[in-house]
Amino acid sequence: MPIQKNDFIEISFTGKIANTSEIFDTNILEDAKSAGFKTTNIKPFILSVGHKMLPAGFDNDLIGKEVEKNYKVTLNPKEAFGERNSQLVRMIPAKHFHEQKISPVRGMQISLDGQLVKVLSSDRGRTLVDFNNPLAGKKVTYIYKINKIITDQRQKINALQEFLFRQTFDFEIHGKTITFIVPRQAEQFIKMFSPKFEEILALKIETKTIAENKK
């Protein structure tokens, strides 16, 4: 059966800079090893098709595809990680880095205010930083296989948790409601993403708070 929007699927893929052998992303163990990536937690990705859990062009390409077949798609920058924006190249006072005990060096990629940035130059107390996605302006190619369609509700919920929360919480399902069991400080965080759960799974989100174990 061809893949449709809203289907949950398990997919294995490798992303490369178009017309090169340079791998920038993969969840295939052999490719991760060959690229010198860390292989901890390498596993197929579970996603809901049509909900921007992959770059737009890749997500769109999944529609109509079949399970257990190999596919390849090349995306222009607009369909992938966007065009480069010169306004995202900014001069930052070097003291901003020094306060975080970072010595900026040309070519360095660092996390700045929660965003991955690249240092273009650093001299005389000023640092030129590129806030563009490292893949902005590049054509990319994805080679992929849809392993299976996911039908289990708990698997779907955990896949969304991993994507949205970057962790998983215990939960209960009662009819059309998911109740996440979370520490109090995570309650607002969960509620922030509740519209996405409702959009994808048509399930209402509630929370039940628990006390954290004190060490």
Alpha-carbon distances, residue 7 vs 46, 65, 98, 176, 189 (angstroms)? 10, 12, 47, 18, 26
Confidence band for 101, pLDDT divided at 50, 70 and 90: confident
- For residue 117, is pLDDT > 90? no
In this structure, are 142 and 48 located in the same domain? yes
| Secondary element (H or E) of residue 75 | strand 70-75
CATH number at residue 98: 2.40.10.330
Please say if the pLDDT value at position 137 is more than 90.
yes
Whether residue 26 is found in the same domain as residue 54: yes
pLDDT of residue 212: 64
Same structural domain, 49 and 95: no
Which has more confidence, 98 or 169? 169
Mean pLDDT over residues 89-114, rounded? Answer: 80
213 band by pLDDT with thresholds 50, 70 and 90: low
67 and 164 both lie in a single domain = no
Q: What is the CATH number of the domain that holds 215?
A: 3.30.70.1770
Q: Are 75 and 145 in the same domain?
A: yes
The pLDDT > 70 percentage for the chain reads 97
β-pairing, 177-183 with 204-210? parallel
Domain match, 93 and 194 both: no
Q: Is there a single domain that holds both residue 212 and residue 160?
A: yes
**Whether 126 and 190 share a structural domain:** no
pLDDT of residue 35: 96
Same-domain pairing of 75 and 143: yes
Same domain, 106 and 48: no
- The domain tally of the chain equals 3
The answer on 72 and 9 residing in a single domain is yes
Closest CA to 35 of 20, 44, 24: 24
Measured CA to CA, the distance from residue 104 to residue 110 in angstroms comes to: 9
| Domain boundaries, position 104 | 86-130
In terms of domains, do 194 and 181 share one? yes
| Length, in residues, of the chain | 215
CB atoms within 10 A of CB 180: 24
